[in-house]
């Protein structure tokens, strides 16, 4: 399983933002799938304690269930972004269905046009269409916090080992990943700070 996307794949898809080159040792912490009452509340608590900002790629149907959590994320200074309405897989969907699902989610997202494809799956034709309207954000470091085969210890080691200047790190903001995220998130943030990294949510 890839923690870092191979550079060859990144080379062939230059329209996608895989990492953010900078000279200030900034990194981007991101959370996919929510909002989720248990997970989102925990994550926001840790981010507030550590005084850092993050980006939340949210699913429209979850925003519809928990609109107060959307506004709580925004009120606490974090960025919210589009992760489709129904967590749709671009490889298994017609273009029309895929684009409609994304636009349905965008109605909930104020102030930006950032999109992360669910599962990281998006076709070249879909990229060509979407890049006219959205910044397509994938990642440089995938925590694999959702895998039942992964332990908190392995997740922490993997994220710390692979994070470099400009990395976009993915954790998940859902019930499935909560056990792992709750075990490692604060330690990961603290150790990344010790390595001299700063956290940005500016795209």
Stated length of the chain = 203
Catalytic option among 32, 33, 101, 140: 32
Extract the tokens encoding 121: 């799956």
- Would residue 32 show up in a list of annotated catalytic residues for this protein? yes
Question: Which residues, listed in sequence order, are joined to residue 8 by a DSSP beta bridge?
Answer: none
What is residue 185's DSSP assignment? H
Among 33, 78, 140, 172, the one annotated catalytic? 172
The DSSP line for the chain is --SS--HHHHHH-TTEE-B---SS-EEEEEEES---HHHHHHHHHHHHHHT---EEEE-HHHHHH-HHHHHHHHHTT-EEEE--SS---GGGS-HHHHHHHHHHHHTT--S--EE--GGG---HHHHHHHTTT-EEE--SEE--TT-TT--HHHHHHHHHHH--TTBEEEEE-SHHHHHHHHHHHHHHHHHHHHTT-EE----
Our answer to whether residue 157 is catalytic in this structure is: no
Structure tokens at 164: 């470099």
Residues annotated as catalytic are 32, 172
């Amino acid at each position: 399983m890839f923690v870092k996307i191979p550079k060859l794949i990144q080379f062939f898809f230059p329209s996608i933002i895989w990492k953010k080159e900078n000279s200030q040792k900034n990194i981007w912490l991101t959370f996919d799938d929510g909002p989720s009452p248990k997970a989102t509340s925990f994550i926001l608590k840790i981010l507030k304690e550590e005084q850092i900002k993050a980006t939340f790629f949210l699913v429209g149907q979850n925003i519809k269930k928990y609109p107060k959590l959307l506004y709580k994320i925004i009120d606490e200074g974090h960025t919210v972004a589009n992760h489709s309405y129904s967590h749709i897989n671009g490889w298994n969907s017609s273009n029309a269905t895929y684009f409609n699902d994304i636009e349905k989610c965008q109605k909930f997202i104020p102030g930006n046009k950032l999109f992360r494809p669910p599962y990281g799956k998006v076709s070249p034709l879909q990229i060509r269409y979407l890049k006219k309207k959205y910044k397509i954000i994938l990642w440089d470091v995938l925590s694999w916090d959702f895998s039942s085969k992964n332990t908190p210890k392995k997740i922490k080691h993997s994220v710390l080992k692979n994070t470099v200047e400009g990395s976009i790190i993915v954790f998940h903001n859902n019930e499935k990943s909560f056990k792992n995220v709750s075990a490692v998130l604060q330690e990961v943030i603290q150790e990344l700070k010790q390595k001299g990294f700063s956290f940005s949510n500016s795209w």
